[in-house]
Each structure stands twice: as C-alpha cells, then as structure tokens.
C-alpha cells in the first residue's frame, strides 16, 4: 500500500490496522539533540484515545507507546525514531455481520474495488484508529517546533449548528482541555455536550468544525509552487478520517469582499518587524508564512456508523440491510482535535527543516 508516508525532510510512515496486533510509526529526519519528553507524547496519546469520556466511543485502549529506537540518554540521535502502540480491546466479532456487506459512506466498497480484498474488522487500514500513530509522531514534531517557539492550538468551534461565533483571539485558548468537548467557550461547550448526548441517545451521529491557530511561525516557511504551506496543510488535514472541508484565512467568507477591503496592509511595528494590520491571509501569502498567526477551519462529517438499520448491497450486488453494531463515536470532534494538532505539527516540522536550507 502506497500513501502511508508523509513529509520531505521530516518523514513519517505509519503502519498497522484497527484490529491487528497494533499500530506503529517511524520518523526519519528528526534532528539529533532534541531532548525528547516521552511523557508529553503520552499526554497527546491520552487526548486522542478512545473511552476517555461519555461522549466518545467506549472502546478501552490505553494507547501506551513503546519507544523502540532513535534516542539515547533522553535525546534524539538523528536516526529513525520507531514507536509502537499495541491494540488491547479489539472486538472483531462485532463486525462479523458485515464481512460481505458495504456499510453506507464507509470505505468498504472502495477498498474492495481497489484491492479485491478488505479487512472488514473495523475497516482495517481505513479505520480512524490509524491516527493513533500520527498523534505519536505529531507529539515529537510539536517538541521540535517548541524549540523554535511555535505553538499549535486546535479546538472544537462548532457541533451541528451550535457554534462559538467568535474569532480565536476572543477566546481563552488555555481552556481547550477544560471540558470533554474541547471547546474553549465553557457555556457553548456545555450546549455542545448536551447535543452530542442527545444524538447518541437517538442512535445517531453529528458533525462539526475544528479550528486551529498556530502561533510563532516566522516569516519564510513554505514553498511557492506545488508545496505551498497552505496546500500542504490542506492535504494533511483532509487526510484525516471524516474530514470534508478545509479553509484558511478568510476562506469562503472572503469572496464577499472587494480587494480593497480584503488586502492585509503592511506596517513596521515598534521592534522593526514587518507586520500586517489585518490577517485575512491566515498567516500565509504566496504559499509562504508571513509571521502572523496561521489559522484555518476543518469540517468533519457525522460518523458514518449509526445504530439504525440502513439499506445497502453486499459483494454479490444483492440488496441487504446493514445493522449498526459496535462501539463508535457519536461525534468525532473531541478526539479529532489532537489529530489536527498532530498533522499541523508534521507539516510545520517538515517546512521548518526545509526553510533552514533555503539560503546561505
């Protein structure tokens, strides 16, 4: 299977399936000398793991990592970093009833069309469980970025039609992990949680929006043509399961403005740094960071697995009924937050290293 490697200089390859022995990741290109905080990696894994609250899937996985290589005396050695996460709470029998059936809006049919064979146990490689390996790698990338003063803040901005309605600079981003929804507006978070619980009780699912803000990226990261910084961010975010949309800066709202209103005027601040008075560009111009905050929004669809019976067909093309079973998220948003953080970190770590070789 191709397509399991991400990055140019900071290269990450993940492996494993939802109901296999485990999942893992190798990181090639992490510079030597980074003091690696394993507990920080474990904290990110804790944020993503299933069973962490009543509004997510109740599959019980500790998602503890085993660091296999690439460090010595607590520091990275410059050689490949290997990590593995063993599965502990698979219930493959929950999927026996769909071994030859195509679940609506899942990858069952497309995997069969591509490979002629599929792992029906939780979707195999197409399962969102694969993202555990990404989060482990992203936690390493975040530590590399912290060395350069870069911080990443993703949060749930909307669930269904319940939204914060605020810009990120109007919110206290330190409150992101203060509630199970991971929304930094406590009042809105309570409404979101009630909505998720109501949807869960009804046997249905609901989608929403994750917003991400990145602070501290200097001007000059990114490439001007195919590897534009926003293009790489878009590809990375859209590679996350259930993600259906990506917009950065003013996004689709920007089409209602004239150029004279949309342009970000430059000025020089008191420190001599070139700044923009507004930031409709989302911190990126010409595919290259301009030193302002980078921000974007990502839309996530309702989880495709629902409890209600659904019409479908099987591998023989016969009409069948798909019965919803198993343990699934009623809303993917709370657990998507650390995955978004991870993918942003992987993109930025790669472009950070690339930028260091751009000129003498």
What span, in angstroms and rounded, lies between the C-alpha atoms of 294 and 174? Answer: 18
pLDDT of residue 269: 97
pLDDT of residue 96: 58
Q: Which residues, in sequence order, are CB contacts of 231 under 8 Å at separation 6+?
A: 287
pLDDT of residue 58: 59
Which two three-digit tokens encode residue 64?
A: 């503890």
pLDDT of residue 60: 60
pLDDT of residue 258: 97
Mean pLDDT (10-residue bins), the chain, 360 residues = 91 91 96 97 91 67 87 97 86 65 88 86 81 97 98 98 97 97 98 96 95 98 98 98 97 96 97 97 98 98 89 91 78 96 98 95
Answer yes or no: are the C-beta atoms of 12 and 346 closer than 8 Å.
yes
pLDDT of residue 106: 87
pLDDT of residue 224: 96
Indicate the length of the chain as a whole number: 360
pLDDT of residue 286: 98
pLDDT of residue 101: 87
């Amino acid at each position: 299977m191709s397509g399991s490697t991400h990055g140019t200089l900071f290269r990450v390859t993940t492996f494993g399936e939802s109901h296999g022995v485990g999942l893992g990741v190798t990181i090639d290109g992490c510079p030597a000398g980074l003091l690696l905080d394993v507990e920080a990696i474990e904290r990110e894994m804790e944020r993503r793991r299933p069973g962490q609250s009543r509004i997510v899937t109740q599959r019980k996985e500790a998602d503890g990592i085993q660091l296999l290589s690439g460090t010595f005396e607590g520091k990275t050695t410059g050689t490949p970093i290997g990590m593995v996460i063993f599965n502990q709470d698979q219930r493959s029998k929950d999927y026996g009833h769909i071994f030859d059936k195509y679940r609506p809006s899942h990858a069952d049919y497309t995997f069969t069309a591509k490979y002629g064979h599929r792992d029906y146990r939780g979707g195999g490689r197409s399962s969102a469980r694969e993202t555990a390996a990404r989060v482990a790698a992203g936690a390493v990338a975040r530590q590399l970025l912290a060395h350069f003063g870069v911080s990443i803040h993703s949060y749930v901005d909307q669930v269904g039609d319940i939204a914060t309605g605020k810009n990120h600079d109007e919110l206290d981003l330190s409150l992101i992990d203060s509630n199970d929804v991971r929304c930094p507006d406590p009042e809105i978070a309570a409404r979101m949680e009630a909505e998720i619980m109501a949807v869960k009780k009804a046997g249905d699912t609901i989608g929403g929006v994750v917003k991400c803000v990145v602070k501290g990226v200097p001007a000059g990261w990114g490439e001007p043509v195919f590897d534009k910084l926003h293009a790489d961010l878009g590809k990375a975010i859209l590679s996350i399961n259930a993600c259906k949309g990506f917009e950065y800066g003013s996004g689709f709202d920007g089409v209602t403005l004239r150029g004279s209103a949309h342009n970000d005027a430059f000025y020089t601040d008191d420190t001599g740094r070139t700044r923009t008075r507004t930031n409709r560009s989302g911190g990126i111009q010409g595919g290259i960071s301009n030193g302002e905050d980078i921000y974007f929004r990502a839309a996530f669809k309702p989880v495709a697995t629902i409890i209600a019976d659904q019409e479908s067909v099987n591998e023989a093309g016969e009409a069948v009924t798909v019965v919803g079973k198993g343990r699934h998220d009623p809303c993917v948003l709370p657990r998507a937050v650390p995955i978004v953080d991870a993918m942003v970190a992987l993109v930025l770590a790669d472009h950070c290293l690339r930028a260091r070789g751009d000129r003498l």
